[in-house]
Chains A and B, each alone.
Chain A
Amino acid sequence: MIGIQYLITSLTFLLLGFLMVLLMRWSIAYPNQPLTAAAVVSKITEAPAGYAHRLGENVKALFGYPHDFKLKETPPPKPEQGTLAEFLFTKHNMPGGVMQPSFYNQLGAMHGTIMVFLAVVPLGFAAFGNFVVPLQIGAGDMCFPRLNMASFHLFFWGGVMMLASFAIPGDGGIIEGGGPQSGWTSYPPLSILSNPAIKNTILLNLFTGQSFWLMSMVLLITSSLLGSVNFIATIVQLRAPGMTWMRMPFFVWAQLVTAFLLLLAFPPLEAAGILQLMDRVAHTSFFMPDGLVWENVPVAASMGYSGGGSPLLYQHLFWFLGHPEVYVLILPTIGAVTEIIATNARKPIWGLNTMVVSVWVLGFLSFVVWAHHMYLTGMGTKVAAFFQTTTIIISIPSVLILTALLITLWGASIRFTVPMLFATAFIPLFGIGGLTGIPLAFSAPVLYLHDTYYVIGHFHYVVAPGVITGAFGAIYHWYPKATGRKMSDFLGHVHFWPTILLMNCVFMPMFLQGMSGMHRRGYDGGAAYGELLGGVLYWHQFITVSAFFLLLAQIPFIFNFFYSAWFGEKVSTNPWHCTTLEWDTPSPPPHGNFTKPIQVYRGPYEYSVPGHPTDYFPQTEPGYDPADKFKGKH
């Protein structure tokens, strides 16, 4: 159904985004070197000796810089004939297998966009939400099935349009082909002037990479709007009899808050997208300031821009979405991890009410923290002080949620199933991502850390080792419900251990690089400043090799995912012995989701209830509600 379609599409985009960043990592670690199979093999084999040699220098680099610093010349490219990379990515982008900076920028913009808007949000929100939420609240279907389908189509074609921008041909002169090159944030005025819209006619301007990015974003935003309306209406209207608000599983709460974030935070970005498209196509000056000079020519005189706009306006509109977006990425996964932990700890979730309140506070506060991405824009110290305060306050509900999960684990006889491995790994890895964000909440450290690899490390820890780890757990957890078969435990372990290890190998060195001042955008990974950066430059190669192995570590998962659908072990409708409603229906669920009328009698996590014959007390099993004894009714 639609949930499964979303799952497969978003996993495909996840893989695509990952492959793009692997290409980029080649250029970062080995700038101007041709990408060939032989080169990859030689780099991997010679890597370990290099790491040992350089380790000492890294430590030294933290304590001082050389005074006789000179810019280092990058080695000139030595293109090779007829490489596979040139064949795959065209001679324009990778002549002789050597990556061009403009292609690197395209990949960078697309990696970010695809990962955020086309992979992780649809995976956590649309895929799991569509499949699990109606089941968990006892609904026959989503509230507006046709809107749901429209939402998927808009998402899919938005994604196709996004990818298609790579294929836009350039003519070498007026039009520069290829995808957008201004990063996933598309900050103006660079984004307005890039993929040169300069001399173009209006119509041609529509067919440039950046314009495709903007139009595709409008489709994706419309898709998420329809999806979020549907989710909220489903949760409010279609709960089964007895499914009161506080009997809803935490996953449903998390999805509800996520839906509200998408509903209310996305439209300002749609507005920003429309305005930027106007700037590119109709040459308005929403984001074009007075006195802008581009390639030594005043923009107003050469292109007819009136000026008088504000690039800061775009940043405000963008981050008004951009920060709630972070919670859109995180919350569904936290919800899923909560389900997995309750199931495998065989205990009620500690402080469920606190968690529900926290997730709402988190959702609300996420609307008032956006300008902490903009400390360096010169918006003023008073504004910065406000956003520092709100940013620190938002850590309270986040920590409350994680603490509640940790306390749930305390003293539990934990079953370390494969989903539980991922869920338990999620907590510390997400914790690293969160705690490294604290210095970034204050404007003083940001003066130094802004746009360094430290920031890259921070948000990748939140999203990759954090959210994606949790999402893997959720896939292993709900796979039996969707297919009636279990994914192989052995392959699950083969997937889990290397993945967790390598994710840390990829992202941990970035903190070190960032604290040494390495800037995030260079296609050569800052090679010119190698001496200034001390030994940390070498970590690029370590990261790249680790990322390559991380890709290999996903092969067991991909194989497992498809193999188990046909040949996996057949399991009962409730293989994990869960209490929530989705396990009370055949696997896969039939049309209408349930085969019998649903009546809910108690809360979602009644595990190990004293006096009950089994250690789980399903929500639908007729009988008493253990919570009543706290209300004096029992």
Chain B
Amino acid sequence: MATPSPSHGHVEEHPHGELIPYIVKSRPDTGLYNGKLGIWLFLASEVMLFGGLFSAYIFLRLGAEHWPYHDVLQIWPGLVNTAVLIFSSITMVLSWAAVKRRKMGEYYMWMWITIGCAFIFLGIKTYEYYGKFTHYGVHIKHASFAKYKGALEHEHAKVKEWVSSASFEITGHIHGVDDPNKSYIEFVTDPDTGGHGHGHAAHPPAADAHAPAKGGGGAGGHGNAIKIERSDILRYGVFYPKYNTFFAIYFVITGLHALHIIGGICVLTFFALPIGSAAIYKENPEWLANRIETTGLFWHFVDLVWIFLFPVFYLL
């Protein structure tokens, strides 16, 4: 009891044989090696974690007065990311198969391709996040809305009425700099392209308005800045998590998923470098195969979470 056991990390080299059996070989009656059971249990817990968050999504969506459909998220980056992750799951399996066939060169290649896919995913995600962080929404007070109604209709702005907060919401970009010293903001709205189609020249942009950065809805042929007095605004801001409950749950779930991708990159990089794989491959190739299999199980899970995320946020 007094001395802590020093050889925890090196149980396989225990002089009296294996202190902990079934690290490499499967236990006959359960058909599992320890790590495989461990990772499945961990994934069960992860299912409950994301399950809790998805139930929060359902709860918030059911209680919301408006829920943004795919008008605030572009579908194509999500679709590309889905394809990238599914492809990376395939390369993950191929790297495991390479160890099984004892082809270490192939193994390293597939591992690095998997890691590359993970970085492509994160890159596209960063692009999407950046789009949100530069896109504004404005809640105009109910009483003041009449002042801007004509200008907004002229711009074919999408306007949502919020009974709960007595306001009208429009989305778009701030023209120029958001200067807190000015008593107004210059706002370029996202046009409602539904009834008018894209890019017709009925409303040419004003000379002083340069085209807004491409974001959520695209600029269409509009882009006139509307001056909105700050005193008429209930609240406004970019699409940070605090903007509304949709962005709150969107950023939390995709952010947590991105953290899982980053965790996966760390583990994959460790095994894709000789320090993580060469020694145990030399000692027992099956041991490495087991580790890659458990890593793969985690990676497939992260992939699977995204396959749920994509329709839930982008399509439904």
Given known A-B contacts A141-B19, A237-B37, A271 and B243 have beta carbons under 8 A apart:
no
Contact present for B41 and A317 (CB under 8 Å)? no
Nearest neighbor of B8 in chain A, beta-carbon distance: A145
Q: Which of B55, B60, B242, B252 contacts A274 (CB 8 A)?
A: B252
Whether the pair A272, B52 counts as a contact (CB closer than 8 A) is yes
Residues on B with C-beta less than 8 A from A140 are: 19-20
Tell whether B269 is near chain A: CB-to-CB under 8 Å.
Answer: no
Q: Which one, A264, A275, A591, contacts B48 given CB within 8 A?
A: A264
Q: Determine whether the beta carbon of B1 is less than 8 Å from that of A144.
A: no
The answer for the CA separation of A264 and B45 in the assembled complex, in Å, is: 5
* Chain B neighbourhood of A306, CB < 8 A: 235, 242-245, 248
| Interface hits, A295-310 → B, CB 8 Å | 300-301, 304-310
Taking the closest CB of chain A, its distance from the CB of B263, in whole angstroms, is: 13
Complex Cα distance, B11 from A313, in Å, reads 46
* Contact of A1 with B60 in the complex, beta carbons under 8 Å: no
- Which of chain B's residues 19-39 have a Cβ closer than 8 Å to chain A? 19-22, 27, 30, 32, 34, 37-38
User: Which of A143, A145, A229, A286 is within 8 Å of B42, CB to CB?
Assistant: A229
Q: Mark A277-301, 1 if CB is under 8 A from B, else 0.
A: 0100011111000110000000011
Residues of B within 8 A of A48 (CB): none
User: Given the interface contacts A237-B27, A268-B52, does A146 sit within 8 Å of B9 by beta carbon?
Assistant: yes
> What residues of A have a CB within 8 angstroms of the CB of B165 in the complex?
290, 300, 307
| B68: interface (CB < 8 Å) | no
User: By the criterion CB–CB under 8 Å, are B20 and A141 in contact?
Assistant: yes
What's the nearest-Cβ distance from chain B to residue A43, in Å?
Answer: 43
- Residues of chain B contacted by A309 (CB below 8 angstroms): 60, 63, 245, 248
> Do B164 and A290 touch across chains, with their CB atoms under 8 A apart?
yes
Q: Distance in Å from the Cβ of A453 to the closest Cβ of chain B?
A: 32
Are A278 and B241 closer than 8 Å at their CB atoms? yes
- Residues 121-176 (chain A) with a chain B CB within 8 angstroms: 139-141, 143-147, 149
| Residue-wise interface mask of B (60-78) relative to A, using a CB-CB cutoff of 8 A (1 in contact, 0 not) | 1001110000000000000
Q: CB of A588 within 8 A of chain B?
A: yes
Q: Is B308 an interface residue (CB 8 A)?
A: no
The yes or no answer to A6 lying at the interface (CB within 8 A) is: no
| A15 contacts the other chain (CB 8 A) | no
Asked if A225 is an interface residue, CB under 8 A from chain B, the answer is yes
A320 within 8 A of B: yes
Complex: A228 Cα to B42 Cα, angstroms: 9
Does A592 have its Cβ within 8 Å of any Cβ on chain B?
A: yes
Judge whether A444 is part of the interface by a CB distance below 8 angstroms: no
A238 at the binding interface (Cβ < 8 Å): yes
Contact (Cβ within 8 A) B63 A310:
yes
Interface size class of A (residues with CB under 8 A): 35 or more
| Chain A residue at smallest Cβ distance from B163 | A290
A86 contacts B by Cβ under 8 Å: no
Known: A282-B240, A284-B242. A267 touches B48 (CB 8 A): yes
Cα(A275)–Cα(B256), bound, Å: 11
Once A145-B11, A282-B240, A308-B63 are accepted as A-B contacts, the answer to whether A236 and B30 lie under 8 Å apart by CB is yes
B288 shortest CB reach to chain A, Å: 18
- CB B164 to nearest CB in A, in angstroms, measures 4
Closest to A149 in B: B8
**B45 engages A278 (CB within 8 Å):** no
* Cα distance A307–B302 in the bound complex, in angstroms: 31
Q: How far is the CA of A290 from the CA of B9 in the complex (A)?
A: 53
Is A225 a contact of B65 with CB atoms below 8 Å? no
Query: Is A270 an interface residue, CB under 8 A from the partner?
Result: yes
> Distance in Å from the Cβ of B230 to the closest Cβ of chain A?
13
Indicate whether B128 reaches chain A with its CB closer than 8 angstroms: no
> Contacts A264-B48, A308-B65 hold; do A271 and B235 have CB atoms under 8 A apart?
no
Q: How far is the CA of A562 from the CA of B201 in the complex (A)?
A: 88
Residues in A with CB closer than 8 Å to B146 are none
Specify which of B7, B37, B56, B164 is in contact with A308 (CB 8 Å cutoff).
B164
A232-B37, A283-B242, A304-B242 given; A275·B20 CB < 8 A: no
A270 CA to B47 CA, complexed, in Å: 12
User: Given A141-B19, A313-B56, A1 and B41 touching (CB < 8 A)?
Assistant: no
B5 at the A/B interface (Cβ < 8 Å)?
yes
For A477-500 the 0/1 string (1 means CB < 8 A from B) is 000001100000000000000000
- Taking CB atoms and an 8 Å cut-off, the chain B residues in 220-245 that contact chain A are 234-235, 237, 240-245
Contact A263 to B19, CB < 8 A, known contacts A232-B37, A306-B235, A313-B60: no
Contact A317 B56 (CB under 8 A): yes
Bound-state CA distance A301–B165 (Å) is 10
**A520→B19 CA distance, assembly (Å):** 52
A20 within 8 A of B: no
Which partner residue on chain A sits nearest B252 by CB separation? A278
Tell whether, in the assembled complex, residue A264 and residue B44 are in contact, meaning their CB atoms are under 8 Å apart. Answer: yes
Contact A233 B38 (CB under 8 A): yes
Q: Which of A462-483 contact B (CB under 8 A)?
A: 482-483
Separation of A228 and B45 alpha carbons in the complex (Å): 10
Task: For B34, give its contact among A233, A269, A300 (CB under 8 Å).
Answer: A233
A4 at interface, CB cutoff 8 A: yes
B1 touches A588 (CB 8 A): yes
The 8 Å CB contact of B248, one of A268, A285, A320, is A285
| Residue B274 at the chain A interface, CB threshold 8 Å | no
Instruction: Give the docked Cα–Cα distance between A394 and B1 (Å).
Output: 40
Residues of A within 8 A of B237 (CB): 304
Let me know if B38 and A229 touch, CB within 8 A.
Answer: yes
Q: How far is the CA of A494 from the CA of B21 in the complex (A)?
A: 45
Residue in B37, B65, B234, B256 with the greatest tally of chain A CB atoms within 10 Å? B37
Q: Is B53 an interface residue (CB 8 A)?
A: yes
Bound: A243/B11 CA distance, A: 23
Top-8 shortest CB links A-B: A268-B52, A271-B52, A267-B49, A284-B248, A267-B48, A588-B1, A145-B8, A140-B19
11 intermolecular pairs with C-beta atoms under 8 Å apart: A149-B8, A228-B45, A267-B46, A268-B49, A268-B55, A275-B56, A282-B241, A284-B241, A290-B164, A308-B65, A312-B59
**Interface residues, chain B, with chain A CB atoms under 8 Å away:** 1, 4-5, 7-9, 11, 14, 16, 19-22, 27, 30, 32, 34, 37-38, 41-42, 44-46, 48-53, 55-56, 59-60, 63-65, 164-165, 234-235, 237, 240-245, 248-249, 252, 256
